Structure 1
């Protein structure tokens, strides 16, 4: 039986929030009403480098958008996925191919098989959690 504690482990979440500063956001929308836009905007305000990955966008939050993770010319540490669960596996596989350190499947995005592929490839994995909510909790814990 697989050790599921490696997914969403508190130490993993804390490490990602502390160490992964360059984040590709797959599915990032220029529509300010979309959750991806709000979360990515928060990331930028908190000092993270945000790279939009969406073939339907040219620019989001003042950053050039790329059609896929393979098109991004710089090193990506974390891939944050805002796609439907059935489409998340493709982004996870690309994250593995480009050598990302971690993948984060946003709240409501669940693909156990993709998460296991990422773990097997040595990536850290967070699934079905909101990056913004976890960052806010983490940031508050540092204040005490």
Structure 2
């Protein structure tokens, strides 16, 4: 599995402003909440994408990526690996450049689909850890 280099990831994080978080929980003890809160605190706009909640981190949730009206820079995914192809297909229907699957989440077919469509796929990497390593924003 090849993710972009640390430098490329740093550039992606530096140039990004809005992150749609698929599977963001409204429960503060969940990893998706803690990671997204850290990104929000670092200055990113976080949009919760989860049909089972009303809001998270003070932001109204949307049911799907297609419900987001404004441009998205990164789609950060907190769903089990077997759901990645489905999320990747929805990702390709919006005009976001970067698909980012969190630590422990990886799917070869989804990665290939994303890259065949000239988008960036980052998998099995925590965005919060990457942000801390590259010290952007």
TM-score bracket relative to the smaller structure: over 0.9
Matched, 1:115 2:111: yes
Residue ranges of structure 2 left out of the alignment (5+ in a row) = none
TM-score if structure 1 supplies the norm length? 0.90
Taking the TM superposition and a 5 Å limit, the aligned residue runs for 1:1-144 are 5=2, 7-139=3-135
> Residues 70-113 of structure 1: CA distance to partner in whole angstroms, max 9, x if unpaired?
01111111100000000122111111110111010000111111
Partner secondary structure for residue 10 of structure 2: helix
Between the two proteins, the alignment pairs up a number of residues equal to 136
Residue ranges of structure 1 left out of the alignment (5+ in a row) = none
Q: Distance in 2 between matches of 1:90 and 1:19?
A: 27
Q: Distance in 1 between matches of 2:7 and 2:120?
A: 10
Partner secondary structure for residue 52 of structure 1: strand
TM-score if structure 2 supplies the norm length? 0.94
How big is the alpha-carbon RMSD for the aligned residues of Structure 1 and Structure 2?
Answer: 1.2
Q: Distance in 2 between matches of 1:11 and 1:96?
A: 25
Partner secondary structure for residue 50 of structure 1: strand
